[in-house]
Structure 1
């Protein structure tokens, strides 16, 4: 799988399907040609049968005529004194003429019968060819349909598997990046503050016996530093897993995120809750929160927006959320093939929740993210 090129496989599949399609076309041409030839031979058979019947009737007529002429010749020959020489000669010539015509009619009948038999054998062979060609066209059509469906599904599955592998690799890289980010934030924030607190505590300890007033001032500064360290620690904890999500639910936690965004980059927000706000299953709340959080992060980082509109609609069987901004937007067509990890993560989460995710955006007209998640009855 590592060295498998989906494009090469797709080309092989398409070439195979095209070859089978070409074979089907050629078979259909053979079927049509055989069918046309069969119809032509059938007409010839009908014509020859009609001519043969006429020839048989003609032979019968000549045989009757020949019998009458022979009887006439016998009568004239026996009574030669009664008939003149001219009558005898006429009777003889008439008999020869009738016999000649009878022979020619019989020869024509034989030829027509032979042509009829040959054409009937040929018609039978053509019927067999047409039936086989028709059956082959049907079978090749069925095979072509099967190949189109199954091979297309195989390529899709391979693409899905490779996409999953790529997504898995991105997840690992993202996890490492997240760990580095958290480590850096702890090192630059609470860790530095705590180190400074330890140092200031030692200073206060020494000043207590020397300068009590200065010691009190140092303790005030120390208390403020502890508050700053605590606030930074809570911010890091909130980014990792907001405790308000477990304690208060989805909407209060999202309001907290929006307040933080406003403090950081002055993006104002409006939140509207429709339906009866309620607690959701834990996996639904965290999944939906992460999707909305990622949408808000994208607004903060990329949109250059001034306002965010957020609407959450609680219904008995579904919960939906809309995140809309008035930022610069982007071209969804060009971005669809090069999605960031954040967008891929949003789609992966919505797939796990069995919901739907729609992103609409135009350059200069902002972005709208619409999320729908079904709820258990």
Structure 2
């Protein structure tokens, strides 16, 4: 029967995600071991650097007590320790970033599995699906969820390839240049190492921003409000966009799935402003009043013909409107609305029942 087939498909998808969940847990355990090992090595090198730096200071004060060869060896040893410490710190940052990204992925998998469990349970409770509309709607919802996950994975893989992966390749090349210069031109090697250190710090900051976009740690640790404040400041500075954030009545934390969904909704809306609106200002309001949370995102951009976009599947998909509507109406049981006109900006509003 159609209902049984759909339930079986859902259970198969859930089992596949459970396998991925287990693999992710194992990889997190392995990366945690690397983090501990790298932290221990950084601590040892840090202690060694202190010792070598102390000897170098003594050497600088008492130069007449040391031969030229001893002075040369001392400074070479100090440079070697400092270089190794910088490399190990960069490696530690990389494995910590990898661990954080895996934990984000695990949280997403947990949410998907929980959602599929709920859908499978609902099908079991309601029995076989006899009306074609009910079957089509449920199947479309599941297909949309799976397609959204695949689209997100594609987006992440492209960003990883064009961002951190490319930067890491460049760092490897620069490190090889430094390695060749050490024996030929020590002064040039020092100059290249300084540039390499700057490039590593830049890559590290870019990677951290990438991780924040994937899943902000502050969302779990501090909650929705601090995360939105940091995110709006970050995206405003990056794109020269004035974002006026107003939050009222949200003194307490919301359930985790509320905070995640609301953040993704706001994130998608602001991404649309950056990509399509050509706006200078954005007004973002979250007002928890009584039994409902009102969300409003309004920009002063160029606007668009709302009917044309909503009637065009490709345009609606490119702007993520279908996903935003699904987040509010399906996941949070709320109401979603969008208004826009050429030359008059765009206004997105949502009303969510408070938990």
Normalized against structure 2, the TM-score is what? 0.55
Preserved contact between residue 355 and residue 373 of structure 1 (Cα < 8 Å): yes
Counterpart position of 1:333: 307
Cα deviation for residue 263 of structure 1 reads 3.6
The C-alpha deviation readout for 1:330-358, integer Å capped at 9, x for no partner, is: 33334333352311111211122122212
Matched, 1:200 2:178: no
SS in 1 for 2:244: strand
Cα deviation for residue 210 of structure 1 reads 3.7
Counterpart position of 2:287: 313
Question: What residue ranges of structure 2 are gaps of 5+ in the alignment?
Answer: 3-130
Question: What residue ranges of structure 1 are gaps of 5+ in the alignment?
Answer: 3-156
Preserved contact between residue 326 and residue 366 of structure 1 (Cα < 8 Å): yes
SS in 2 for 1:319: strand
Cα–Cα, structure 1 residues 163 and 296, in superposed 2: closer, same or farther, change >3 Å? farther
Counterpart position of 2:82: none
Preserved contact between residue 276 and residue 315 of structure 1 (Cα < 8 Å): no
Cα deviation for residue 159 of structure 1 reads 5.1
Cα–Cα, structure 1 residues 196 and 336, in superposed 2: closer, same or farther, change >3 Å? closer
SS in 1 for 2:302: coil
Of 150, 164, 184, the residue aligned with 2:158 is 184
Q: Distance in 1 between matches of 2:158 and 2:308?
A: 34
Counterpart position of 1:348: 326
Counterpart position of 2:255: 281
Of 181, 189, 212, the residue aligned with 2:186 is 212
Cα deviation for residue 323 of structure 1 reads 0.6
Cα deviation for residue 322 of structure 1 reads 1.0
Alignment of 1:225-264 (within 5 A): 225-264=199-238
Q: Distance in 2 between matches of 1:250 and 1:212?
A: 51
The alignment of Structure 1 onto Structure 2 pairs a total of residues equal to 222
Counterpart position of 1:368: 347
Q: Distance in 2 between matches of 1:356 and 1:197?
A: 48
Cα–Cα, structure 1 residues 363 and 202, in superposed 2: closer, same or farther, change >3 Å? closer
SS in 2 for 1:368: strand
Preserved contact between residue 326 and residue 367 of structure 1 (Cα < 8 Å): yes
Preserved contact between residue 319 and residue 373 of structure 1 (Cα < 8 Å): yes
Cα–Cα, structure 1 residues 362 and 164, in superposed 2: closer, same or farther, change >3 Å? farther
